[in-house]
Amino acid sequence: MLILQLLVSGIETGALYALTAAGFALIFGATRIFHFAHGATYALAGYAFVLATRLGWAWPAGVLLALVVAIAFGLLLEAAVYRPIQRHHGAFFTVFVAAFGVVIVVQSLIELSFGRAYIAISSPLTRAHEVLPGLYVARVFWLALATAGVIFAVLGGFLARTRAGIGLRALAENPDLLRAFGLSARRLSALAFALGSALAVPGAVLGAMTTGLSPGVGAHVMLISLAASVMGGIGSLRGAALAGLLLGIVENLVVAGLDTQWSEAAGFVALFAFILFRPRGIFGAALVR
């Protein structure tokens, strides 16, 4: 029964990881920018929700605030950091270091504002009910699954059917096509960042209620998103989502057999193995060196 319990929490974590990882993969897939500060988006969204709750706002307002903060942050970075660097023929290295710097700045600002301790929002959603003998499931589990399901369905439809969605997919692979359709690369890039950043919000909000937040959460989530994107195959949203789900499950199952410390490490062993033996990931296209 313990395994089943761990599986449940694993799927819950995994669903949220899947969303955040998909956000990162979306941005990278469309703009080819390694948005290493995506984890900071998650952290900011989560803490914005916490702030709203502390101010006594109702939860929809809190979610809205988180969305506004996340999207604004993503757009700000695209305009003020990534685009200027790319204009000056910035190497990948330069983009990465700049993003890293942003992560550190955000982390320290959060620490100065909220302190280093774990913060969690208590909510009736997290109260567990015994569903089967020995198996406790909280309502937030179903919420996480439902949210992930709905968002992925909508996202899939958007990317496949709308002009903007197709534009996003074309942006990375075939920029000339955009001109033919009268779409602007700049606006699509902004859209990618807005959409990708928004995808971090559900995970952040639900995460604030379940596992809780700390200033370092952004880094942790970033690493997971990165690992998921690599293992799923860079450029594949489906892959990133699937890998995110798997990482969540593995992270929780490992606790059954090994120390908690190893649960995080397990993900990295998998990541390292993938990079060594199958860098293209599960769904990705072959890398061109």
Partner 1 sequence: MTAYLLNLAQLAAIFGLLSVSLNILIGYGGIFSVAHAVFFGLGAYAGAHVALDLFPDLLLAALASAVIAGVLSAALALPALRVRGEYFVIASLGLQMLATTVFTEAQAITGGLGGLVGIPPPTLFGFTLAGPLVFLFCCLAFLALALALVRQLMRGSFGRALMALRDSETAAEALGKNVALIKTLAVVLGTAFAGIAGALFAFQEEFVNVESFTLDQSVLILAMVIIGGAGTLSGPLIGTLLLLLLPAALTFIPFIPPTDIGAVQQLIYGLAMTLLMIFRPAGLAGRAMGRR
Per CB under 8 A, residues contacting partner 1 are 34, 80-81, 84-85, 88, 90-105, 107-109, 111-112, 219, 223, 226-227, 230, 259, 261-262, 264-265, 268-269, 271-272, 275-276, 279, 287, 289
Q: How far is the CB of 6 from partner 1 (least distance, A)?
A: 19
Residue identified by tokens 């995080």 is 264
Q: How far is the CB of 110 from partner 1 (least distance, A)?
A: 9
Residue identified by tokens 């699509």 is 188
In the complex with partner 1, the residue whose CB is nearer, 181 or 272, is 272
In the complex with partner 1, the residue whose CB is nearer, 73 or 141, is 73
Reported in sequence order, the residue ranges of 74-231 that DSSP labels E, i.e. its strands, are: 128-132, 135-138
CB crowding 76-100: b at 16 or more within 10 Å, else e: ebbeebbbebeeeebeeeebeebbe
In the complex with partner 1, the residue whose CB is nearer, 183 or 271, is 271
How many angstroms separate the CA atoms of 233 and 16, rounded? Answer: 19
Which amino acid appears at position 203 of this protein? G
Q: How far is the CB of 97 from partner 1 (least distance, A)?
A: 5
Q: How far is the CB of 69 from partner 1 (least distance, A)?
A: 19
In the complex with partner 1, the residue whose CB is nearer, 58 or 275, is 275
How many angstroms separate the CA atoms of 149 and 207, rounded? Answer: 17
